[in-house]
Copies of this chain bind each other. A is one copy, B any other.
Amino acid sequence: MADMSDSKINVGRRIVISVDAMGGDRGPAAVVAGISRSAKKNSEIEFILHGPQDELEKLISRRKLLKDRVIIRDAQKVVHMDDKPSQVMRQGKGTSMWSAIESVKNGEANACVSCGNTGALMALSMLRLRKLPGVNRPAIAVLWPSRNPSGSNVMLDVGADIRADENDLLQYALMGASYVRNGFNIPKPRVGLLNVGTEEFKGRPELKEAGDLMSQHADTGNFEYVGFVEGNDIPSDRVDVIVTDGFTGNIALKSAEGTAKLISGLLKEAFNHTPLSKLAAMLAYTSLRRLSKRIDPRRVNGGVFLGLNGTVVKSHGSADATSISAAVKLAVQLAQSGFNERLAARVASVGVKDKSDNEE
């Protein structure tokens, strides 16, 4: 039960975050602005920044705060958003993404942050960091605004892999519970399995098997299995962790993002409609600002790759300074809690059947 008794392992120690400066839609300037914001907020963080030396030097030299806290690692090549993961795996050496992961692999950095191509980042992370012993499919976990006291739930997988069998889903439950336990300090997270309809006879048969496995391993995994949940339960206070395959999770995540964007757009239009409503918007400014902070995807920015020998945080491709800074904050929290070591211990303790054992 190491993960309950240990307190935060690295608190007070210097934390080094390896940052891929390239590959985001807004270029390295947004990334540098983001890490500058993080550096200002937290004096314990240092950075290794990966990308074209000249360009990065120019950007860093403009920010005093960063001068002694950033090491630049030259990488002239860039992974583009439309590059195929398989191609990047073969030809990715020399890219800023490869270089950023390498710093975690060789122990220079505690965690890696990139806002580049998700598929490529996962492929390179698997290639260089390798899967944790006992993990069959790594997963991407996201924070989801919710009614819980912490303000967030965790959902996984949201797109690392489009398929997952019952054993993979059990591993997701273990990994998600471990993430919430360490990240939110919830001793026994409630885990739900995403399905259609909460009645037993509904939904896909493989989900029934996954549910049975989760029930069996809930005690060993130190979580509470609450059964099937539906899409509308994702932001609820019924669960802390929502488990699903990467295809379904990605659709759910993006549907929710699209809905939030539609509503906030319509809300802005509503407040611009008449002089009276414009006045109202001014009066309600602080309240609306609080709301928009609460549901702003930029502030819960950062999908965490779970199940690897090292922590990788994927930021939105369109990430701005606020988003990058949020992703760095998440990487720091996870590094400080010693989360990845605990996760490894947890997966090993439950001893889920590792498919790769059979394949060899």
Contacts and interface: CB of A to CB of B under 8 A. Distances in A.
Interface of A: 82, 84, 119, 145-147, 159, 162, 194, 196-197, 199, 201-204, 230-236, 244, 246-248, 250-267, 269-271, 273-274, 276-277, 279-284, 286-288, 290-291, 294-295
What is the interface of chain A mostly: helix, strand, loop, or mixed? helix
Contacts of A82: 199
Given A196-B246, A235-B259, A256-B256, 10 more contacts: A119-B202, A146-B262, A162-B196, A162-B204, A194-B251, A196-B247, A231-B257, A255-B259, A263-B264, A280-B280
19 contacts: A162-B202, A162-B203, A204-B247, A230-B254, A231-B253, A232-B261, A234-B258, A235-B259, A236-B258, A244-B251, A251-B252, A255-B255, A255-B256, A259-B260, A259-B263, A267-B291, A270-B287, A270-B291, A281-B284
A232 B247 contact: no
A235 B251 contact: no
Contacts of A234: 255, 258
Given A196-B247, A247-B204, A263-B263, A287 B274 contact: yes
B203 A247 contact: yes
Of A248, A284, A288, chain B has the most CB atoms within 10 Å of the CB of: A284
B280 A251 contact: no
A288 B263 contact: no
Nearest to A275: B283
A128 to B, nearest CB: 21
A145 to B, nearest CB: 7
A11 to B, nearest CB: 32
Contacts of A230: 250-251, 254
A201 to B, nearest CB: 5
A266 B294 contact: yes
Contact of A257 (B146, B232, B276): B232
